[in-house]
Chain A
Amino acid sequence: MPRVAPLLLVLAYSAPAFAAGDSATPWWIWPIALFAVSFIIGIVAVLAGVGGGVLFVPIVGSFFPFHLDFVRGVGLLFALSGTLAAGPVLLRTGMANLRLVMPLALAGSIASMTGAVVGLSVATDLLQIALGATVIAIAFMIWAMKAADFGVVESDALGELLRLRGEFEDPAAGMRIDWRTRRTAAGLAAFAAIGFFGGVFGLGAGFANVPALNLLMAAPMKVAVGSSGLIISIINSSAAWVYIHRGALLPLLAVPSILGVMLGSRIGARLLSVTPAPVVRRLVIAVMLLAGARALLRGLGIWT
């Protein structure tokens, strides 16, 4: 599965070779290219617990001839449709837990819309630098922490009230895993902060959801990854309407991307249950470093 990442980069880098900004390229080439890139990102995104917008926006924004306004709009719908498509499989296998998702998504979506309003009045470059530095720092933090699965921890009072617990069958480990979460108030605050900054930065911020669920709340890595996807689908449902109302969605770009990611993410959701947790963890780190570096370089004006 990690071999998909280089393939993704090859595809992305090959895009400008056949046409970036080349007016001789027929228009229909672009929807086909978007479908192919979206399909591969869809597989990787589910395994990494991100919406995929964090990969889609930098890759398509850099290597396709579309204005970033439209790429952002499609990126958001891309993350939304991919996580919606993966949701049923994640819920049925217990990798995503609705009881865990509901309070965190509510905190995140309220804060996300507040963040979007704030983000309109702050310098974009400064925001990009802050985002890139934060994401890279979190990636190194996960890398440094060897033990990401905490076993069954003791619930706090709020966690007990919300009954944030569950169980799932892990075919990769060959066992049934019971779990509880801890530090519920801190988790809610973290998701409000992630939602706020996600709204400010215009991202689903799935790359921050996973460490918040896993490192802070002690959800098993696979539950963190699966539930992160479902949280993105809920938070992005509200953000998607901002782009629709602003006329920032081009169907010619949006539909092939959505169809591609939906097919890819269904495959990713099935692979998640049989992919060993360390592989998923490495993929999360790789995605975060890639996204963080991209945001940092864009903010510094090096890679715009």
Chain B
Amino acid sequence: MDVKPHDEHIQRLYARWLDAATKTGFAASLCAFLLYVSGALPPYVAPERLPELWGLSVGRFLEQTGAPTGWRWVALMDHGDYLSLAAVALFGLITPVCYLRIAAPLLRHGERLQAALVIAQTVVLAAAVSGLFAGG
């Protein structure tokens, strides 16, 4: 079977970065969540209050709590719940980071078509991260 050696190298490189980034996301989520539920960092919405709010639609929840949309939550990262949200958001960045990592090796091995796919996918993901498709 005509499988080139650099295919395996690039696949393993992607796997290594994916592994490290996923473990980082896991550790960050766990730490931020412990700071949140232990009360070490003050929450924007107290966990004790959530049982009366989590049955509401998102729209009504936002009305009742004044919670932010778009990128405005970044300003609230000194609160335990929004620090946890930031940790969770890291998972949405892992794929673009791993894709960018393999772009240069692909080009170095003359894989222009694969590199073009990687760049196109990164552009799509970057558009999503920017909030272009969030519609509010």
Answer yes or no: do A and B interact. Answer: yes
Inter-chain CB contacts under 8 Å: number = 206
* Contacting residues, chain A, for B131 (C-beta < 8 A): 241, 245
Interface of chain B, main secondary structure: helix
Check if B54 sits within 8 Å of A106, measured CB to CB. Answer: no
Taking residues whose C-beta sits less than 8 angstroms from the other chain, chain A's interface range is 35 or more
Which among B7, B54, B114 has the highest number of chain A CB atoms within 10 Å? B54
Check if A84 sits within 8 Å of B18, measured CB to CB. Answer: yes
In B24-45, the 8 Å CB interface with A consists of: 25-26, 29-30, 32-33, 36-37
B134 within 8 Å of A (CB atoms): yes
**Closest Cβ of chain A: how far from B128's Cβ, in Å?**
4
* Contacting residues, chain A, for B114 (C-beta < 8 A): 99, 102, 162
Of A62-70, A138-146, A275-283, the stretch lying at the interface with chain B is A62-70
Check if A91 sits within 8 Å of B14, measured CB to CB. Answer: yes
Which among A21, A31, A98, A248 has the highest number of chain B CB atoms within 10 Å? A98
A151–B93 Cα gap in the complex (Å)?
Answer: 37
In A9-40, the 8 Å CB interface with B consists of: 21, 23, 25, 27-28, 30-31
Check if A255 sits within 8 Å of B88, measured CB to CB. Answer: yes
In B44-80, the 8 Å CB interface with A consists of: 47-48, 50-52, 54-58, 61-62, 67-71, 73
Check if A251 sits within 8 Å of B55, measured CB to CB. Answer: no
A103 within 8 Å of B (CB atoms): yes
Check if A87 sits within 8 Å of B22, measured CB to CB. Answer: yes
B89 within 8 Å of A (CB atoms): yes
A199–B29 Cα gap in the complex (Å)?
Answer: 27
* Contacting residues, chain B, for A245 (C-beta < 8 A): 69-71, 131, 134, 136
Set B19, B102, B128, B135: member contacting A117, Cβ < 8 A: B135
B125 within 8 Å of A (CB atoms): yes
Of A50-58, A126-134, A230-238, A291-299, the stretch lying at the interface with chain B is A230-238
Check if B133 sits within 8 Å of A27, measured CB to CB. Answer: no
Set B12, B21, B61, B95: member contacting A91, Cβ < 8 A: B12
Q: Please judge, given known A-B contacts A85-B22, A98-B14, whether A237 and B94 are in contact too, CB under 8 Å.
A: yes
Check if B62 sits within 8 Å of A247, measured CB to CB. Answer: yes
* Contacting residues, chain A, for B104 (C-beta < 8 A): none
Set A65, A85, A242, A255: member contacting B84, Cβ < 8 A: A255
**Closest Cβ of chain A: how far from B135's Cβ, in Å?**
7
A135 within 8 Å of B (CB atoms): no
Check if B58 sits within 8 Å of A69, measured CB to CB. Answer: yes
In A67-118, the 8 Å CB interface with B consists of: 67, 69-70, 73, 77, 80-81, 84-85, 87-88, 91-92, 97-99, 102-103, 105-106, 109-110, 113, 116-117
Set A99, A116, A163, A253: member contacting B133, Cβ < 8 A: A116
A217 within 8 Å of B (CB atoms): no
Check if A106 sits within 8 Å of B124, measured CB to CB. Answer: yes
A262 within 8 Å of B (CB atoms): yes
Check if A259 sits within 8 Å of B129, measured CB to CB. Answer: no
**Closest Cβ of chain B: how far from A118's Cβ, in Å?**
12
Check if B3 sits within 8 Å of A165, measured CB to CB. Answer: yes
Q: Please judge, given known A-B contacts A91-B14, A242-B133, whether A67 and B55 are in contact too, CB under 8 Å.
A: yes
* Contacting residues, chain A, for B50 (C-beta < 8 A): 27, 250, 252
Set B4, B10, B62, B133: member contacting A98, Cβ < 8 A: B10
Q: Please judge, given known A-B contacts A65-B51, A66-B55, A238-B124, whether A259 and B15 are in contact too, CB under 8 Å.
A: no
Complex A-B: 30 CB contacts under 8 Å? A25-B51, A27-B48, A31-B37, A65-B51, A70-B61, A77-B91, A80-B91, A84-B22, A85-B22, A85-B26, A91-B15, A98-B11, A99-B7, A102-B117, A109-B125, A117-B133, A163-B7, A165-B1, A234-B121, A237-B95, A245-B136, A246-B69, A247-B73, A250-B54, A251-B82, A252-B84, A254-B85, A256-B33, A258-B26, A259-B29
Other than A66-B54, A80-B91, give 12 A-B pairs with Cβ distance below 8 A. Answer: A81-B25, A84-B94, A113-B133, A178-B1, A241-B131, A241-B134, A242-B133, A244-B89, A245-B131, A247-B61, A252-B50, A254-B84
